[in-house]
Amino acid sequence: MTTGLLISVVDDDDSVRVSTEGLLRSLGYAVRGFDSAEAFLGSDAVGASACVVSDVQMPGMSGVDLKTALSAQGIATPVILMTAFPNDATRQKAAAAGVSCFLPKPYQAQALIDCIETALAA
């Protein structure tokens, strides 16, 4: 595994964000957390992130909107989306936006690790 790469975690749920950050740090990644897509997009982490792990449903911009905004700026950073409300319509929107992986919450740690490793290898 390549360590030291920056992974940004975007989730308005503090407990999910903090636990995801802890998991990724334990694997050797550098991690920055953001409580909204807007906070992430306004940060210097946008160009520095090797991967973004984001919730789908958040106040303001959704995770799908976040991926769309990155793509519109020509930023090809892989985005992994997580949602407590997985459904086919959201999954299809995420796929159409070019999301790397789509996980239901609560996610299994190994499933997230596999998604990140696949996204970083692409």
Is 41 contained in some domain? Answer: yes
Is 111 contained in some domain? Answer: yes
pLDDT computed for residue 2 by the predictor = 54
Q: Are 104 and 82 in contact (CB under 8 A)?
A: yes
Looking up residue 37, the CATH number of its domain turns out to be: 3.40.50.2300
pLDDT computed for residue 122 by the predictor = 85
Is 1 contained in some domain? Answer: no
Task: Give residue-wise pLDDT tens across range 105-114.
Answer: 999 999 999 9
Is 32 contained in some domain? Answer: yes
Is 98 contained in some domain? Answer: yes
In terms of Cα–Cα distance, which of 8, 9, 12 is closest to 84? Answer: 12
User: What percent of the chain is helix, strand and coil (3-state, nearest 5)?
Assistant: 45, 20, 35
Task: Give residue-wise pLDDT tens across range 68-79.
Answer: 999 999 999 999
Question: How many C-beta atoms surround the C-beta of residue 6 within 10 A?
Answer: 17
Is 46 contained in some domain? Answer: yes
Task: Give residue-wise pLDDT tens across range 23-68.
Answer: 999 999 999 999 999 999 999 999 999 999 999 999 999 999 999 9
Q: Which residue range forms the structural domain that includes residue 91?
A: 6-121
Task: Give residue-wise pLDDT tens across range 85-98.
Answer: 999 999 999 999 99
Is 22 contained in some domain? Answer: yes
Q: How many domains does the chain have?
A: 1
